[in-house]
Amino acid sequence: MNIDQLNAFHKVAKAGSFTKAADELFLTQPAVSQQIKALEFFFGIRLFERSRNKKVQLTREGETLLSYTERLFHLYEEIKTRFSYLQALHMGNLTIGSTAVPSTYFLPVVLSRYNTQYPGIKIELRIGNTHKVLSMLHGREVDIGLAGEFPHHHGLHNVLLHRERLVVVASSNNLLAAKRAVSISDLDKHHFIWREKGTQTRILMENWFKKNASRNYPKKSIEIANLEVTKQLVQEGYGITVVPEVAVRKEIESGLLKRINLEGFDLSTDFHVFYLDKTFLSKAAKAFLWMLSSIRLFSHAENLQQHLKLIA
């Protein structure tokens, strides 16, 4: 038994004629008859009664089989329709994992445009630090990840998308804000607010302090996982912090925060697009990546464009 034999049976049963069924299937009548005989032989039953006027009538067994083929080919048409919608991006699902900075300062624009162009695609955004985003990718919880550079990312494709300068900021009322240049020793009396472990900013700053001060520096510190809470604390005068420039651009322009010129400080953070190696990217996912590469928000969008051309 195969699908062609079942389809031939279904067409004959619905048309009531071998000749009409053959026309619909673009086959000869003997070819259709052969399909039916093969099916009858497989089941060991008779499916049709042939009359002298060449009319065909279903046997009881044929009626039973028709009830199944009705459901089978209805489901077949449903599958074709659904996947034609998926191919046309009229429906589908896309799950994105992202660290705080891309999800807060870049993705709202991208997701808004994506939703306008593909309103039938259901989008889910999951937020975590770099380690968490890569873990979600490996666990197949997300389709695409946007996260900081990570030294070990086996099994993942990664493409540099954006490079953002890191800045040291304090409240405009902080004593450090009045200084043209600040040395590391000037930080001794001020709390330093760390980003949480697992973030690229945290890793870069730990390495910078080890190189320029000591392993146990800064002397006063607190760790905050939420970037917005960190900014609020600094605005209220609680210490200083280091964040990507895009995260504090508005606060600096409005005077709520002041950029601190810390001697010897010149760091930037990279944001990459990640997805699982040897994994089929859905059309919805590829459309999202193309949109990422076409929006003039990202410093290295051309990297993603070149990558997408290679995997097209």
CB of 225 within 8 A of CB of 194? Answer: no
SS3 260: strand
CB of 163 within 8 A of CB of 269? Answer: yes
User: Does residue 117 share a domain with residue 77?
Assistant: no
- The two three-digit tokens of residue 14, written as one number: 């619905």
User: Does residue 156 share a domain with residue 138?
Assistant: yes
Integer Cα distance of 152 and 30 in angstroms: 64
Please give the single-letter amino acid code of residue 179: K
User: Does residue 276 share a domain with residue 153?
Assistant: yes
Q: How far is CA 234 from CA 106, 162, 267, in A?
A: 23, 26, 20
pLDDT tens track of the chain, all 312 residues? 899 999 998 999 888 888 888 898 899 989 999 999 999 999 999 999 877 666 788 999 999 999 999 999 888 877 876 776 667 677 789 999 999 999 999 999 999 999 999 998 999 999 998 889 999 999 999 999 999 887 667 889 999 999 999 999 999 999 999 999 999 989 888 999 999 887 889 999 999 999 998 767 888 899 998 899 999 999 999 999 999 999 999 999 999 999 999 999 999 999 999 999 877 888 899 999 999 999 888 999 999 999 988 887
SS3 115: helix
User: Does residue 174 share a domain with residue 40?
Assistant: no
Examine the fold and report which residue of 87, 114, 137 is the final residue of a domain before the chain moves on: 87
Examine the fold and report which residue of 41, 65, 87 is the final residue of a domain before the chain moves on: 87
Examine the fold and report which residue of 46, 71, 87 is the final residue of a domain before the chain moves on: 87
CATH for 40: 1.10.10.10
The number of domains in the chain is 3
Range of the domain at 63: 3-87
Integer Cα distance of 167 and 265 in angstroms: 9
Contacts of 248 (CB under 8 A, 6+ apart): 167, 169, 231, 257
CATH for 199: 3.40.190.10
Integer Cα distance of 9 and 26 in angstroms: 14
User: Does residue 134 share a domain with residue 10?
Assistant: no
Taken in order 168, 170, 174, 177, the sign of the CA dihedral is positive
User: Does residue 281 share a domain with residue 258?
Assistant: no
Beta strands in the chain (DSSP E): 48-50, 56-58, 92-98, 121-127, 144-148, 156-171, 192-195, 221-224, 240-244, 257-260, 268-276
User: Does residue 265 share a domain with residue 173?
Assistant: yes
User: Does residue 82 share a domain with residue 107?
Assistant: no
User: Does residue 141 share a domain with residue 114?
Assistant: yes
User: Does residue 170 share a domain with residue 265?
Assistant: yes
User: Does residue 108 share a domain with residue 121?
Assistant: yes
Contacts of 92 (CB under 8 A, 6+ apart): 85, 86, 120, 121, 122, 282, 283, 284
pTM of the model as a whole? 0.72
User: Does residue 289 share a domain with residue 145?
Assistant: yes
